[in-house]
Structure 1
């Protein structure tokens, strides 16, 4: 059985829990879900049949499914049994773990008896700089799919997660950043050649080298699957996807994350017609135009056909030799989406726009904003 050993490093506090939300734990189920997400973002044929003789989709074949005939994932996972993850309560060191309060609002308590409105819930997190090692075992099959194609799906997902994504609450906003640090097969594998095409950028000694290796590996992954021909119903990585890096370095992850938080907050304030592209639901206070004396009312903006629109913008922190750099990935979103607005506390909703809202136009506005931001603007990785 082919075995792949992968080591990740936690860069920013990871708020990841199971059924008990008061505990913090690194969960393989969450890791698997994240790998599935990144695979769907890169492979245009993720929902195509895995072979001419099977009706099972490639995604379900690789990662498993609940429909008839889909069954278990092609890869089994195991975390090192001796591995211990340090946890810390956010009340133990509030200033260290939650300085970017614009992104850390989810930690504020809602208990009315709290002594201060800005108190934090006693929630545990997995602390930065710890590593976690996971083993992946490819199950033998009846050759429905080429083993190399199965490895391409898994390796691309691991690489993308370890360079673009994270795990846990607010992972799209920089918390739970997970960096791929090493990987390799513990035995002979025909997929060894694939690893050579995907150098790990996180081990480089400069941000310039990081960007060069990042783009080289990403281009290799794209060549494995081909280009998307159509816009999908979920966010994808294609030729329109943009990556931005702030070359200014910081001494701590929270300083770097605070820098990104100010950028997002400033964009939303100055671009009210485009702020929905960064994710919904979006709750804001708005003053009624008809009355100057009226108090601001809380308005919640949501997709018209659902409660949530996952942001196509992923924020992470890059760590290089003890220095930290903010990074933003702007994935290509669904073309249009209808938006509804609802006054907080009322059940009725009304359509905000008569026409669909263009996510592409809004994200283009955001990218232009990044290019022009401050004296040291965000540099596009290209």
Structure 2
């Protein structure tokens, strides 16, 4: 069965790589894919994911990775601190002496993955944005702080869809215009 998967590695262009990648995803998760769709997942899944690739390549993989990192970092600076929890928890905010943690589990991995794709002698930054189930987070003091009444530990719903949609639009405005949807 594995021989049915197309190989994107070694593609002569980013468009060829993208085509092979999309065919592979469709083999796994398409209408007649190997694995069924999850209607209600309890963890991050590939269903309803989106992959965004920068339209221009870099000459070195380090440049492509640095560019992707700068896009994520820049976006995180633009949004409210609580919304940043979408990108993984626990999240420590030393300047405010607080941390955000998932309500019922120890940690939550980011639904945003960064990858560098090599195609046609260039390196392209790519983001994978995966669907994740709703989750609540709790804000609490870091370390041994007594009597901090403003941090009462009440949970709040993490706005995954809203923030991830904003992030996708941020990437599109910054030339991540090659897309694959699952």
TM-score range, shorter chain: 0.7 to 0.9
The CA distance in 2 between the partners of 1:315 and 1:202, in whole Å, is 17
Trace 1:1-382 onto structure 2 (pairs within 5 A): 191=1, 194-195=2-3, 197-222=4-29, 223-230=33-40, 232-238=41-47, 240-272=48-80, 273-285=82-94, 296-334=95-133, 336-346=134-144, 350-351=152-153, 353=155, 355-373=156-174, 376-381=175-180
C-alpha distance after superposition, 1:209-236 (max 9, x if no partner): 0001110111011111222222x11100
Residue 245 (structure 1) shift: 0.3
Change beyond 3 A, Cα 1:302–1:250 = same
Change beyond 3 A, Cα 1:362–1:224 = same
Residue 270 (structure 1) shift: 0.7
Partner of 1:47 in structure 2?
Answer: none
* Contact kept in structure 2, 1:284 and 1:299, CA below 8 Å: yes
Instruction: Give the aligned CA root-mean-square deviation in angstroms.
Output: 2.1
How many residues end up aligned between the 2 structures? 173
Greater per-residue strand proportion: 2
Flag structure 2 segments of 5+ consecutive residues without an equivalent.
Answer: none
Rg (Cα) greater in structure: 1
Greater per-residue helix proportion: 2
By relative contact order (CA 8 Å, sep 6+), the higher-ranking structure is 2
C-alpha distance after superposition, 1:17-40 (max 9, x if no partner): xxxxxxxxxxxxxxxxxxxxxxxx
The CA distance in 1 between the partners of 2:36 and 2:105, in whole Å, is 31
The CA distance in 1 between the partners of 2:177 and 2:107, in whole Å, is 28
My pick for the range that moved more, 343-352 or 213-222, is 343-352
The CA distance in 1 between the partners of 2:52 and 2:59, in whole Å, is 20
Query: Could you tell me the TM-score, scaled by structure 1's length?
Result: 0.42
Query: Could you tell me the TM-score, scaled by structure 2's length?
Result: 0.84
